[in-house]
A and B are shown apart, each in its own frame.
Chain A
């Protein structure tokens, strides 16, 4: 398969994807559009999270902090001064924020850069340690951000949160960012930079001896991951239009971890599949929480039942597909072509 054909197929798929998005945006119900938006945002989050956890092999447990920073940054920048005045009832919002209002796109970019800036500062202590210690340190920083959001009354409005954001996020935004994140992160992983990151994951001493500076490469992955998490946070804020510190607890990180583990750690395709299954499956499983009629029995609706089923699915994946759905493989055109050829081969044999 040559590169030109692959390129055409990629462009074709992208057009197809946005064609479907366009149709849904036009004819889909509000409910469908909402789920699709969720999926887009979760794809961005999962793919950027996978860059650190799957490709670099760091057990980073603080993406909720980056998402929170992104969400607050973009919300505070895109709200009008009047809206802020309405929101901050206990304490006035501090000066530069009280007067500025920026376009949504600029606020998203700022969200990405703020998250990356935070990642830059914490990467010095974080990247000094590895393994469980890194997990604990990042977990701590994630919590620190949430607590700061809770306490910073005059910046984040504390536990009251920010309400009444304009719902800027539409399908074009969420899926445009998702497509961009998947493409650039996949390109990075496939480049020599990605190889260096994988080399650090496989054997850090050997990677150092081959001239790879682990600190700089891991920091690069960490910053890029934070950048896209921040943007996704901004999108999330303008999708649900209300944010409060309670939204960015460790549960958010845990959900992302489920997504990339089920999808296959280290596989971008896996992260995408995991995100789709999670965001869509979470809604599809609402059926089990409704009252059910089975013959003469009536099972009352049990709230939280889908979480039980989620956990069961996670356990099944861990038991029977330990490397997740994709393992570290990727779904590529060459792979599809070889599968197709195999299928044809078996048919001609019969």
Chain B
């Protein structure tokens, strides 16, 4: 297995509270992995540590042979890990197009001076960024809403815009934090297709958190389950579904005793 992303015994403590403890995972290139667990299990904390929003208390996060666990967030993005957020974090007062254009910022060649003077080189680069951003928007089905303010988009489209924005940073690994939350079944099906499609097209690895079991089971090849910050199971959807530990974590002990 060609694992190019690895978390080794990663622990995060907030004061006395251990949110994530000795979490390890290896992702293979092109794989679609799900991270599930009951509320408060530490799933989002795992994502926050991967993307540098939080620093792990202990443990390493290896990306393409480099330990990224101490890097600041923007440098991790520049190295090819991008994400969406559980509670949508768009740039509300900016248009959809501008939201996506921000993702190109870290890779800009022209300096602020050439921007202030409006030099031709800078204008060409702005034009290229604009065209590429429009492509990402069209891919997400938002082409017609390019000039609409992000905060005015309906909920489902805001989620898609977040994915488009994350994709525009050109990631090798995309982290989706509850992408299907608050969507109806039709929208969820559409989203599943969209996620599979972008994986094919951009050749990216996807790691996602989701509460909707049907959604996770249908698109993920591998699932990791955490409970109270500890990893309790890992395997294919079928294996995870029948794992007694997982059933206990989700449904409690009494159910297990009766069942």
Asked if A193 and B112 make an inter-chain contact with CB atoms under 8 angstroms apart, the answer reads yes
A211 to B79, CA, bound (A): 9
A187 to B126, CA, bound (A): 12
A203 at interface (Cβ–Cβ under 8 A)?
yes
B1 at interface (Cβ–Cβ under 8 A)?
no
A208-B91 CB under 8 A given contacts A188-B112, A195-B105:
no
A298 at interface (Cβ–Cβ under 8 A)?
no
Asked if A202 and B92 make an inter-chain contact with CB atoms under 8 angstroms apart, the answer reads yes
B133 to chain A, nearest CB (A): 10
B147 to chain A, nearest CB (A): 12
A305 at interface (Cβ–Cβ under 8 A)?
no
Q: Which residue of A lies closest to B107 (CB)?
A: A211
Measured between beta carbons, the chain A residues less than 8 angstroms from B126 are: 191-192
B170 to chain A, nearest CB (A): 9
Measured between beta carbons, the chain B residues less than 8 angstroms from A203 are: 89-92
A332 at interface (Cβ–Cβ under 8 A)?
no
- Residues from 89 to 132 in B contacting A, C-beta threshold 8 Å: 89-94, 98-99, 101-108, 112, 115-118, 122, 125-126, 129
Most chain B beta-carbon neighbours within 10 Å: one of A205, A208, A210, A212 = A210
Please, what's the 1-or-0 string for A159-194, where 1 marks a CB less than 8 Å from any CB in chain B?
Answer: 000000000000000000000000011011001110
A282 to B101, CA, bound (A): 42
A212-B102 CB under 8 A given contacts A184-B117, A187-B118, A198-B91:
yes
Asked if B105 and A210 make an inter-chain contact with CB atoms under 8 angstroms apart, the answer reads yes
Number of A positions contacting B (CB below 8 A): 26
Asked if B115 and A192 make an inter-chain contact with CB atoms under 8 angstroms apart, the answer reads yes
Most chain A beta-carbon neighbours within 10 Å: one of B90, B91, B103, B112 = B112
Q: Which of A191, A211, A212, A328 contacts B115 (CB 8 A)?
A: A191
A336 at interface (Cβ–Cβ under 8 A)?
no
- Residues from 208 to 229 in A contacting B, C-beta threshold 8 Å: 208-214, 220, 224
A192-B51 CB under 8 A given contacts A187-B118, A206-B85, A220-B112:
no
B100 to chain A, nearest CB (A): 9
B82 at interface (Cβ–Cβ under 8 A)?
yes
A228 to B92, CA, bound (A): 30
Asked if B78 and A211 make an inter-chain contact with CB atoms under 8 angstroms apart, the answer reads yes
A224 to B108, CA, bound (A): 19
Measured between beta carbons, the chain A residues less than 8 angstroms from B252 are: none
Measured between beta carbons, the chain A residues less than 8 angstroms from B52 are: 208
A195-B89 CB under 8 A given contacts A187-B118, A210-B77, A213-B72:
no
Number of B positions contacting A (CB below 8 A): 39
A187 to B122, CA, bound (A): 11
Asked if B129 and A192 make an inter-chain contact with CB atoms under 8 angstroms apart, the answer reads yes
A198 to B51, CA, bound (A): 21
Asked if B82 and A199 make an inter-chain contact with CB atoms under 8 angstroms apart, the answer reads no
B134 to chain A, nearest CB (A): 15
Q: Which of B73, B117, B166 contacts A208 (CB 8 A)?
A: B73
A198 to B103, CA, bound (A): 13
Q: Which of A192, A205, A224, A328 contacts B105 (CB 8 A)?
A: A192
* Interchain Cβ contacts within 8 Å, total number: 107
A191 to B104, CA, bound (A): 12
Measured between beta carbons, the chain A residues less than 8 angstroms from B51 are: 209
Asked if B98 and A206 make an inter-chain contact with CB atoms under 8 angstroms apart, the answer reads no
A136 at interface (Cβ–Cβ under 8 A)?
no
A198-B74 CB under 8 A given contacts A192-B126, A205-B53:
no
A57 to chain B, nearest CB (A): 10
Q: Which residue of B lies closest to A223 (CB)?
A: B112
Q: Which residue of A lies closest to B78 (CB)?
A: A211
Asked if A207 and B82 make an inter-chain contact with CB atoms under 8 angstroms apart, the answer reads no
A76 at interface (Cβ–Cβ under 8 A)?
no
B227 at interface (Cβ–Cβ under 8 A)?
no
Measured between beta carbons, the chain B residues less than 8 angstroms from A39 are: none
Asked if B74 and A212 make an inter-chain contact with CB atoms under 8 angstroms apart, the answer reads yes
A213 to B101, CA, bound (A): 15
A348 to B112, CA, bound (A): 46
A223 to B139, CA, bound (A): 38
A193 to B115, CA, bound (A): 8
A185 to B165, CA, bound (A): 26
A94 to B126, CA, bound (A): 49
Asked if A198 and B78 make an inter-chain contact with CB atoms under 8 angstroms apart, the answer reads no
A192 to B102, CA, bound (A): 7
B43 at interface (Cβ–Cβ under 8 A)?
no
A286 to B29, CA, bound (A): 73
A196 at interface (Cβ–Cβ under 8 A)?
yes
Measured between beta carbons, the chain B residues less than 8 angstroms from A187 are: 115-118
A185 to B125, CA, bound (A): 19
Measured between beta carbons, the chain B residues less than 8 angstroms from A191 are: 112, 115-116, 122, 126
B169 at interface (Cβ–Cβ under 8 A)?
yes
Q: Which of B102, B108, B115 contacts A210 (CB 8 A)?
A: B102
What are the nearest 9 A-B pairs in CB distance? A211-B106, A211-B77, A202-B91, A191-B115, A206-B89, A208-B73, A184-B116, A199-B102, A196-B105
A198-B93, A203-B92, A205-B89 known; 14 new pairs, CB 8 Å cut-off, are A184-B117, A187-B118, A192-B105, A193-B115, A199-B94, A203-B90, A206-B91, A208-B74, A210-B77, A211-B74, A211-B77, A211-B105, A211-B107, A212-B105
Q: Which A positions have Cβ atoms within 8 angstroms of B? A: 184-185, 187-188, 191-193, 195-196, 198-199, 202-203, 205-214, 220, 224, 328
* Between-chain CB contacts (< 8 Å), 13 pairs: A184-B117, A188-B116, A191-B122, A195-B94, A195-B98, A199-B91, A202-B93, A205-B73, A205-B85, A208-B72, A209-B77, A210-B77, A213-B74
